[in-house]
């Protein structure tokens, strides 16, 4: 009897050792794995509420730079997600589709054609870093194993299946955010917001009708993807995002379209719709291959109209079950507001934009090392900033400061001695030190004041939880940054 008990105890100890070892390995893997933008897309996809997405957009970085889910929601009431990865080949897109359908039942899946074009051009050679950015953060499953098997030579597969084998040497690179383990939430639903402008080359490929054959692996997975959609009774739409496409790339695209036509699958080639989109190659791109947010607005609105005209997808904007979508998509529109605010140089337009936001805290401090008075027009403009609740009345050598929160003046002071305002009582830790010879406005101990003659103003957005603009309105009313 004792021998049996001892044997059971040994087995239990071995089992517990294996479990503890597994938990430690899992922790270390999550600690050491790279936590970049691409990792957020797949991990945050898993966090979407089950069966709430109307559309899943799958493919390369062209997807995340072209289709903006916030616009599809705000303008059309469509819920969608950009499930993309760098130069994602069609075979990984297939496994992403399998992964996507584990938690969602979309009515439409949009597939990026560039994954086929790129893999065809490179003879299916995809850089290791891009493969890892696509696969590393997929959940542990047979689907991930199959994606690895179809992407990596057999001798290199173990480090993809067990990420700790790849990243165990990252100890010296670990930063504070790595210890949170959880990869930050992607409120943009996989979309990559950006306002960088890069002048690009417009190429006319409308006369290219020749075809370059799609290689065997690409065609095989294109058909597998189509067959999976048919099996699950899901509509497919293939999209070619606008970029300076070459003639040979267009020939590959034409070959893809030929296969899609044979399968009765819809597609949109945005490289043939530059004029219809009113696409500006001088302003609508962030780099040589990708649209910026200005260009994405044009394509997403065109796509939204196309979807509404061709697919039976309901408008969820009045549905209380989807109210949380307003919370997430507001971040995109707040960042659009930020970009507009910090590029505005007209004082009246700037004040109007500040007033139109319900989430700004505006902190101001007066400095004047000259004997010049503030212009009367500037005084009236500043009163307008406070909704006429800001007195903005002081002598040339007075010290002066104010704070406006959501249009309400919560602090305003003028005096001959130095003004020292400090708030340490809540989450918004601020300090304003104002004299006629110096202006200081600190938030969380960081200095933001321009410290110039005139009114130094800092605008803090409570939704984005950051300073969105810091300006000086000079004595004559001119804005400078």
pTM: 0.83
Average pLDDT estimate for 253-276: 98
pLDDT at 168: 45
Pick from 127, 137, 143, 55: which is nearest to 95 by CA? 143
Question: Would you say residue 92 has pLDDT above 80?
Answer: yes
Cα separation, 43 vs 35, in Å, equals 10
Average pLDDT estimate for 472-481: 94
Angle of helix 216-231 relative to helix 247-262, nearest 10 degrees? 40
Instruction: Please say whether the dihedral angle defined by the alpha carbons of residues 193, 199, 200 and 202, taken in this order, is positive or negative.
Output: positive
Task: Summarize pLDDT for 149-171 with one digit per residue, the tens.
Answer: 888 776 665 666 555 444 445 44
Average pLDDT estimate for 366-388: 90
Q: Which residues contact 58 (CB under 8 A, 6 or more apart)?
A: 83, 84, 88, 93, 96, 97, 100, 109, 110, 111, 112
Question: Would you say residue 410 has pLDDT above 60?
Answer: yes
DSSP label of 256: H
Confidence of residue 174 (pLDDT cuts 50, 70, 90): low
Instruction: Please say whether the dihedral angle defined by the alpha carbons of residues 382, 383, 389 and 391, taken in this order, is positive or negative.
Output: positive
Average predicted confidence (pLDDT) for the chain:
88
Three-state SS letters, 339-359: HHHHCCCCHHHHHHHHHCCCC
Task: Summarize pLDDT for 181-203 with one digit per residue, the tens.
Answer: 444 456 899 999 999 999 999 99
Cα separation, 95 vs 76, in Å, equals 29
Phi and psi angles of residue 393, each rounded to the nearest 5 degrees, phi first: -125, 115
What is the 3-state composition of the chain as percent helix, strand, coil, each rounded to the nearest 5? 45, 20, 40
For 361, the token pair is 């805290």
Pick from 41, 74, 36, 33: which is nearest to 59 by CA? 41
Angle of helix 90-100 relative to helix 128-135, nearest 10 degrees? 10
Tell me how far CA of residue 296 lies from CA of 86, 203, 275, 344, 364, in angstroms: 18, 19, 15, 22, 36
pLDDT at 427: 65
């Amino acid at each position: 009897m004792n021998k049996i008990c001892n044997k059971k105890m040994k087995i239990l100890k071995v089992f517990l050792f294996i479990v503890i070892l597994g938990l430690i390995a899992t922790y270390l893997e999550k600690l050491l794995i790279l936590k970049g933008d691409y990792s957020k897309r797949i991990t945050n996809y898993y966090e979407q509420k089950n069966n709430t997405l109307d559309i899943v957009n799958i493919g390369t970085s062209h997807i995340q730079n072209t289709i903006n889910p916030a616009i599809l929601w705000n303008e059309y009431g469509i819920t969608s997600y950009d499930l993309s990865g760098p130069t994602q080949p069609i075979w990984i897109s297939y496994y992403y589709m399998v992964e996507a359908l584990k938690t969602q039942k979309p009515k439409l899946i949009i597939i990026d054609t560039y994954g086929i074009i790129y893999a065809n051009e490179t003879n299916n050679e995809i850089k290791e870093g891009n493969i890892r950015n696509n696969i590393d953060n997929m959940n542990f499953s047979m689907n991930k194993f199959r994606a690895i098997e179809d992407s990596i030579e057999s001798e290199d597969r173990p480090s993809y299946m067990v990420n700790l084998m790849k990243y165990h040497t990252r100890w010296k690179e670990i930063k504070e955010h790595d210890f949170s383990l959880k990869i930050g939430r992607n409120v943009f639903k996989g979309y990559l917001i950006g306002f960088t402008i890069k002048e690009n080359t417009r190429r006319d490929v409308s006369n290219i009708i020749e075809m370059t054959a799609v290689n065997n692996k690409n065609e095989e997975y294109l058909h597998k993807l189509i067959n999976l959609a048919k099996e699950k009774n899901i509509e497919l739409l293939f999209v070619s995002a606008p970029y300076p496409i070459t003639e040979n790339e267009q020939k590959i695209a034409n070959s893809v379209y030929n296969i899609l036509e044979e399968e009765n699958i819809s597609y949109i080639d945005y490289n043939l719709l530059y004029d219809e989109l009113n696409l500006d190659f001088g302003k609508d791109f962030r780099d040589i291959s990708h649209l910026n947010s200005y260009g994405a607005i044009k394509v997403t609105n065109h796509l939204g109209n196309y979807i509404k005209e061709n697919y039976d997808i309901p408008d969820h904007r009045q549905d209380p079950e989807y109210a949380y979508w307003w919370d997430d998509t507001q971040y995109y529109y707040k960042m659009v507001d930020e970009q507009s605010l910090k590029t505005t140089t007209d004082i009246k337009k700037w004040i109007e934009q500040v007033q139109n936001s319900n989430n700004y805290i505006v902190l101001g401090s007066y400095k004047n090392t000259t004997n010049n008075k503030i212009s009367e027009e500037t005084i009236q403009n500043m009163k307008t900033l406070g909704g006429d609740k800001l007195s903005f009345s002081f002598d040339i050598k007075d010290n002066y400061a104010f704070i406006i929160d959501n249009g309400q003046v919560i602090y305003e002071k003028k005096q001959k001695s130095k003004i020292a305002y400090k708030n340490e009582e809540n989450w918004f830790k601020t300090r304003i030190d104002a004299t006629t010879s110096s202006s200081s406005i600190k938030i969380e101990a960081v200095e933001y004041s321009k410290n110039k003659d005139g009114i130094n103003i800092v605008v803090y957005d409570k939704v984005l939880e950051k300073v969105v603009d810091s300006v000086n309105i000079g004595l004559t009313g001119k804005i400078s940054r």
